[in-house]
Amino acid sequence: MAVTNSVLHPPCHFVVACDDGCLGYLRICWNSASGWICVFLVGIVAGIVAAIIDIGSPWLSDLKEGICLDAFWFNRAQCCWSSNSSGKSCDEWYTWSRLLMKKDPTSEHPDAYFIGYVFFVLWAVSFSGLCALFVRTFAPYACGSGIPEIKTILSGFIIRGYLGKWTLLIKSLGMILGVAAGLSLGKEGPMVHMASCCGNILSYLFPKYSKNEAKKREILSAAAAAGVAVAFGAPIGGVLFSLEEASYYFPMKTMFRSFFCAMVSANLVRMINPYGDEHQVMFQVDYKAQWHIAELIPFAVLGMLGGIFGTLFNRSNLYMCRLRKTTWLGKYPAREVFIVTLVTAIFSFPLTYLRMNTSDLIRLMVSSCGPGESGSLCDYKVNLSDPQAVLLGSYPAGPGVSSAMWMLAVTLLFKGVITVFTFGIKVPTGLFIPSLAVSHLFHFGSLLLNSSTQCYLHFVITLTSKAVCISKAFRMQIIIPYPTYLQKLSE
């Protein structure tokens, strides 16, 4: 009985030379694995770009106040690591007034204050001006958040150039410059647009996706999940965002690839360690105290206040959008950016909490008070001789807490108003971080109502109010609490 050649030499047998059957089998294997390879590359590129943005934005933001002469590429926190201090006692950090006056003036010195004020405003206007210039000249599609347009593209529409190379470059650079300018905006929302640009560009390496717009949207759905993952360090939260908010067609295959892409991007950001603390999240919290049933009342009040804030913000922002279409603001977007930045910088410098980067302000508010903390937000009258107070963790608030709360009230009222005017200008703008910052106003009100409160409770209320406000502002009731609580508390 004769034996056929296919039995003696099966396809892809590497001992002998491969014929067309072997090459065809390899093509089938490559075609089957191309989707996983593509989302893997998207996760790698999105993680690298996000890490560069996370490193560059705080460096430029601190450049408004000074520079590290020994290592100019360090931001203020990195420059002061050796002295274990990031305050005024850091000798390695040179403010512009200290550098120009050739001495170490105090912040109360009139000349030092004036020089610092001028440099702060000039740097802020310069950063926002460059951002607006780059957007207008090279990539007009890079302005705004990008999430509504991504949803439109995933629904089946084609917007030529919206996910191109120039949009990716200017969007990434614009996020760094916009945040560094001190504008009341965030870089987390535009991360979704950035990751989607990576997905669109890398899909052209695979004919299966470059020649089929329907298949390409599977990659874009995974890229949208990676954008949320690199922004908040929450891979599952990114998948939920792509499922609930962005995608219109989300089969099981796309869900697994989206999770894989989000995991790759989030873990790569963690390996690069842009925050310098070996954590992939911006706001790491550690709440170990037990909660009480009575605390459900302030949480319910926060829910109502968050709904009111979200409604007022949405209506105010829609009014501003209509105003831009009917007035000179729509004809001269660069002037609008200049005016908003100038007003923001002038009012931000005099107040410490306004001068801070918004992410640093949020990090300060959600951090627990340790034994060695001496800040005004941790000014509690700790009485270790009272066993009941020690057991419950309940201590009376000191004068520092009261003064800090009034300062935060002014800070967040200003941010709540200026965010309405900022969101929508022709720079890459996100709304997640400003919404988180404004939510502290509810936390401020809870402390005024109770001057003797648990030290940890107001930090928990602050964390809760974040989720409440942006859940109403973005109408995403499931995916916001998940990355806000589960992911951050698990770190």
- Running along the chain, 491 residues long, what does each successive block of 10 average in pLDDT? 43 46 77 90 95 92 89 85 61 85 62 88 95 93 90 91 94 93 88 95 92 92 94 88 86 93 93 72 64 74 78 87 86 91 93 83 72 63 57 61 77 86 88 77 54 46 50 49 44 42
What is the pLDDT, as a whole number, of residue 198?
A: 96
Neighbour tally for 164: CB within 10 Å: 17
pTM summary value: 0.81
| Structural domain range at position 163 | 37-282
What is the pLDDT, as a whole number, of residue 189?
A: 84
Domain with residue 288: its CATH number is 1.10.3080.10
End residue of a domain, out of 226, 259, 282:
282
What is the pLDDT, as a whole number, of residue 113?
A: 85
Distance CA 47, CA 69 (A): 30
Report yes or no on 222 lying in a domain.
yes
What is the pLDDT, as a whole number, of residue 490?
A: 39
Distances (CA, A) of 361 to 87, 355, 373: 15, 9, 16
Chain centroid offset of residue 7 CA? 59
What is the pLDDT, as a whole number, of residue 368?
A: 67
Report yes or no on 156 lying in a domain.
yes
267 lies in the same domain as 302: no
148 lies in the same domain as 293: no
368 lies in the same domain as 384: yes
What is the pLDDT, as a whole number, of residue 381?
A: 60
What is the pLDDT, as a whole number, of residue 395?
A: 60
End residue of a domain, out of 282, 314, 344:
282
What is the pLDDT, as a whole number, of residue 385?
A: 58
Please write the tens of the pLDDT for every residue from 150-167: 999 998 899 999 999 999
Distance CA 193, CA 177 (A): 17
End residue of a domain, out of 228, 262, 282:
282
Count: domains in the chain: 2
What is the pLDDT, as a whole number, of residue 46?
A: 95
* Sequence-ordered alpha helix ranges (H) in 155-287: 165-180, 190-203, 207-210, 213-232, 235-241, 252-272
| DSSP labels, 282-329 | SS-----SPP-GGGHHHHHHHHHHHHHHHHHHHHHHHHHHHHHHHSTT
Please write the tens of the pLDDT for every residue from 324-360: 888 888 888 899 999 999 999 999 998 888 888 887 7
What is the pLDDT, as a whole number, of residue 433?
A: 80
160 lies in the same domain as 277: yes
